[in-house]
Structure 1
């Protein structure tokens, strides 16, 4: 059960909507994933409301809708035992512009006398947005672009292991998603692109991107840009369902982005876009203008090598700042799975590491994926034999880990594939499996290296986790493991306790281990992968 002092609530009154979140942030590794206890969004556009009248005020009807939505959230916070002092109410771009902000503050005080509203300055809003992007993934380094309803904020960040740097001051423009659409209809595409290029050139001069970066990653955030991500996922999967519904952590290459912005949009296509998963009618209408924005980014941003789309925004950044600095720098893939660990998980991890050569295995696999797999190895042990492999396959995309925040698409795809093979790999429908494989191969530039080592780990898990079937280590002497050989010929040495009933119960798997590993190399048909042999012994 959550401790009330560790539970936080946020009301974010944005330009396009009002977002509500309650998150559990215990003072340990579990806080890294900003675990939500509740999340909701009210479709109240303050930007549209104040733009529709010359007095620049929030109309009474919109104030009524805001009050109703916030009163509801206040009661939800009471049900979840959220302390009033742990609830933050923040207002962004649109509310800064309104002339009756005092009425909004007074209304809030009537709902809860302990609350006050924080009208964020553009700089503070931008910095919260950058922290939100940092919270979205592991090891963020690059240029951040956050397109809200009323503004576009550009900055850079470097966050990895033990250090976090932000641009001294973000660059701010008025080209939010709503203003972009209005401007496109007023001046046309060519003029808008020229204005955007000029604005972005100034912005990149202002933020002073570190000179030693020989190519940058773009981190794109904001509802409109996430709609572009949904469109990209749809086109990348050749109009088949993309196997991962979560937008956060989706990556595309510069070539992918260039193909995306070449799409010509007319009214009939806009109607078709509304049928694409995660693209609403409102966002479909904004896509033509957002494509112009991305075309301008491609021209002006320095040496783009890849693009990530992020879910984290202002509210996530605010929550992320509340957790201990050492927790912020933890790997979200590892922290999201660590809570699933059984007593045997650490022992399983040690055994697999002993037979996985760190000099040959990609660092991502050895340092990040291997712990996550070990911690998750027993998650599906109480499922029926018919459902284990399928449930494991979709574990991080549609299952219990789908809500885990901070994972990239390759994290979700490869974790599911490894756990699926750990339980035998037999699924009813191979379409999702093939789709996840394609995600991994694409992330590796067409290489099968991650799939090879992922299946290698899965095959070993079938043996090693099978020796401790309920996740409890009752005998440390059950198996001894080691590895020898070279980069071209590996020899796995496994010695099992003589007469141990747990060893006898999986003896059929042990006997097939060598053949499985030999087949694995032939399946991927890549000479760079080592030949693998197994020496089985008893002690």
Structure 2
């Protein structure tokens, strides 16, 4: 790491001093806004985040900006191994940080709650001191924290990605590709102190997208020789990290051993963050079998291993596609050969890749997560998104119980995602009575779009989760869709069906049950007792050997709530979910009996 000569506006952060330098979050602090400047090798990112309760775990964004200053590209090599920033770069960075500081102050962020994080480029620069001095003069009061490699792995590859997830039970490989380096480690949230275990086990290689572009672009004879060696070092380095991780984590070693024994199901799931990998995710979305892809964000996008490993196709698309590819800037398109080179090295080391999920988190989210107490940062963000009041909770629980009673107990959901299995039930149930002043067609379209667009980048809301929620919430209103929304419906149906053929059916079924409940109880119930008094539901599965299995559902509605209702219409709605509505024809039939209770 470059010497910073005890600058009073700089500190080096390693695992030993992390708790002292990254002070814990104070829930009683009068101001809960935090500003972070992430001096990455590929650009300088600035953000303001609210840690206010009760939505602390969501790391709610308040403001974001980015300066297209690639610190790694601006490093100039003099004598071999000596890298320095030109004075114009030092001046530009100092001015940029002063600008970001003023924005933070304008938003009311206390200066002591502005964090500046620096990574590979600042570690490598031999004149980091003059850079820090310039920042001190231009933006007095700011302290630059230079992250040691393991801390960058902790805040980026581990907790940056982890910030957007519910959990990682069973473990997965986590990778981060920046401009100057690439990190890889193994994360299993069931292990004690998993974040520190992962950070210590992970390794960093000096082959970020910006550095690799320089290596690949050097066409001199010396450059050709150096490129062969560097690419060999990259492949050996990634392979070596993977072998070391297998030696340290029995779960990963077991998957590797099973794969070598020809077990086709022995797959390693992967989570990737960093601008370089997100660029690859954007290219995969552009080539996804669901086309056009209905969700406009790489964050929480999951690609199957087969698509992920088709690097040659992605290279060709990047070369031949003249139009814009969503999520990819001109610079990212230029860097794509370098990104693909890292992906190829990873695939060579780990040939049994399962699902690959791309994460929007970075050092910013990771640093904020590490400020939070353990029980808060490990809490389920989906529970926070719903945020029911104390009065609402027992009512919502009673409604959820009715929905669960509508599903036969002997149906196997181990491989079929629903709002119930994906932790989305609180979000779905809470909105059953929203927008009741609007007609069914309007609400069907609104619910479909809202699930896709709501809470952008919210932790825990994956593309699959949003798609399941969209199908279920729109089915609750039993309305019709216009042509554009019908295309969106087909798109999210495709995402869900790619995971499970039966999942779209169950989304429609659960939504239809909610429609029946809300028809019997048109206003939000005053109590759980009212729910129990108004409606009763039971169900069972009638198995057919040669035909489709049939779900038999019986609904009893109290006369006080059911008088005047068109029970035939309710039967048509619930039985209608067995009809084809985009995607494949359902594998179930539905038989409904709806009567007034005596």
What is residue 458 of structure 2 aligned with on the other side? 404
Would the aligned equivalents of 1:341 and 1:375 in 2 still touch at CA under 8 Å? no
C-alpha distance in 1 between matches for 2:408 and 2:108: 49
1:73 matches 2:90: no
C-alpha distance in 2 between matches for 1:377 and 1:538: 23
Q: Scaled by the length of structure 2, what TM-score is found?
A: 0.80
What secondary structure does 1:38 align onto? strand
Please point out which of 207, 212, 217 is paired with 2:251.
212
Please point out which of 484, 494, 498 is paired with 2:555.
494
Once the two structures are superposed, what CA deviation does each residue of 1:17-45 show, in whole Å capped at 9, x if it has no partner? 111111122344x2222211111111111
Please point out which of 489, 493, 516 is paired with 1:463.
516
Deviation at 1:511, TM superposition (A): 2.9
Alignment of 1:117-156 (within 5 A): 117-129=144-156, 130-140=158-168, 141-156=171-186
Deviation at 1:203, TM superposition (A): 1.3
Please point out which of 442, 450, 469 is paired with 2:503.
450
Deviation at 1:192, TM superposition (A): 6.2
Alignment coverage as a number of residue pairs = 525
What secondary structure does 2:176 align onto? strand
Deviation at 1:520, TM superposition (A): 2.5
C-alpha distance in 1 between matches for 2:239 and 2:147: 26
What secondary structure does 1:401 align onto? coil
1:434 matches 2:490: yes
C-alpha distance in 2 between matches for 1:88 and 1:339: 33
Q: Scaled by the length of structure 1, what TM-score is found?
A: 0.88
Once the two structures are superposed, what CA deviation does each residue of 1:430-488 show, in whole Å capped at 9, x if it has no partner? 111111111111123xx2x2111111110011122344445352644552323243463
What is residue 353 of structure 1 aligned with on the other side? 404
Deviation at 1:336, TM superposition (A): 2.4
What secondary structure does 1:85 align onto? helix
What secondary structure does 1:159 align onto? coil
Once the two structures are superposed, what CA deviation does each residue of 1:345-381 show, in whole Å capped at 9, x if it has no partner? 4443233233234552626422413233113334544
What secondary structure does 1:534 align onto? strand
C-alpha distance in 2 between matches for 1:274 and 1:312: 28
C-alpha distance in 2 between matches for 1:431 and 1:178: 39
C-alpha distance 65-481 of structure 1, shift in aligned 2 (>3 A): farther
Would the aligned equivalents of 1:481 and 1:492 in 2 still touch at CA under 8 Å? no
Stretch moving more, 135-144 or 362-371: 362-371
C-alpha distance 419-403 of structure 1, shift in aligned 2 (>3 A): same
- CA-atom RMSD in angstroms: 3.1
What is residue 391 of structure 1 aligned with on the other side? 446
C-alpha distance in 2 between matches for 1:94 and 1:458: 51
C-alpha distance 383-67 of structure 1, shift in aligned 2 (>3 A): farther
Once the two structures are superposed, what CA deviation does each residue of 1:294-346 show, in whole Å capped at 9, x if it has no partner? 12211112632221111112111111122332232333334323369993544
C-alpha distance 24-276 of structure 1, shift in aligned 2 (>3 A): same
C-alpha distance in 1 between matches for 2:390 and 2:135: 43
Stretch moving more, 137-146 or 172-181: 137-146
C-alpha distance 354-250 of structure 1, shift in aligned 2 (>3 A): same
Structure 1, unmatched stretches of 5+, are none
Alignment of 1:45-84 (within 5 A): 45-51=70-76, 56-84=83-111
Would the aligned equivalents of 1:96 and 1:119 in 2 still touch at CA under 8 Å? yes
C-alpha distance in 2 between matches for 1:309 and 1:147: 11
What is residue 10 of structure 2 aligned with on the other side? none
C-alpha distance in 2 between matches for 1:494 and 1:305: 42
Deviation at 1:3, TM superposition (A): 7.1
Would the aligned equivalents of 2:559 and 2:596 in 1 still touch at CA under 8 Å? no
Deviation at 1:62, TM superposition (A): 2.4
C-alpha distance in 2 between matches for 1:379 and 1:535: 25
1:22 matches 2:75: no
Once the two structures are superposed, what CA deviation does each residue of 1:68-105 show, in whole Å capped at 9, x if it has no partner? 33223223322333233322111111011122322333
Please point out which of 291, 294, 299 is paired with 1:243.
294
Would the aligned equivalents of 1:218 and 1:304 in 2 still touch at CA under 8 Å? yes
What secondary structure does 2:293 align onto? coil
C-alpha distance in 2 between matches for 1:273 and 1:137: 35
1:10 matches 2:36: yes
What is residue 362 of structure 1 aligned with on the other side? 413
What secondary structure does 1:396 align onto? helix
C-alpha distance 333-161 of structure 1, shift in aligned 2 (>3 A): farther
